[in-house]
Amino acid sequence: MIAKGFPEDSKIMYVANIFKFKHLKTWNLELCATSAGQDQILHTRLSNLPVLQKEEL
């Protein structure tokens, strides 16, 4: 993945939450991603959704 803070070999398992901070205008996604056998909860802006799409190799 190319999104900042996500490991290169990570795979999104599910969307945990969609949220918006009161002081910001942007919506965010909280995602459960697995990388090297470890699950981790990461978040990113909803506008990054096209970057997170599955790529065909």
For the chain (57 residues), the mean pLDDT of every run of 10, in chain order, is 73 90 92 88 86 64
Place of tokens 């459960």: 32
Instruction: Give the number of other Cβ atoms within 10 Å of residue 48's Cβ.
Output: 16
Q: What is the pLDDT of residue 51?
A: 79
pTM score, two decimals? 0.69
Q: What is the pLDDT of residue 57?
A: 39
Contact between residue 10 and residue 29 where contact means Cβ atoms under 8 Å apart:
no
Provide the b/e sequence for 1-30 (b: ≥16 CB within 10 Å). beeeebeeebebeeeeeeeeeeeeeeebbe
Helix (H, G, I), strand (E, B) or coil at 4: coil
Among the residues of 1-57, which ranges form H helices?
none
Q: What is the pLDDT of residue 55?
A: 58
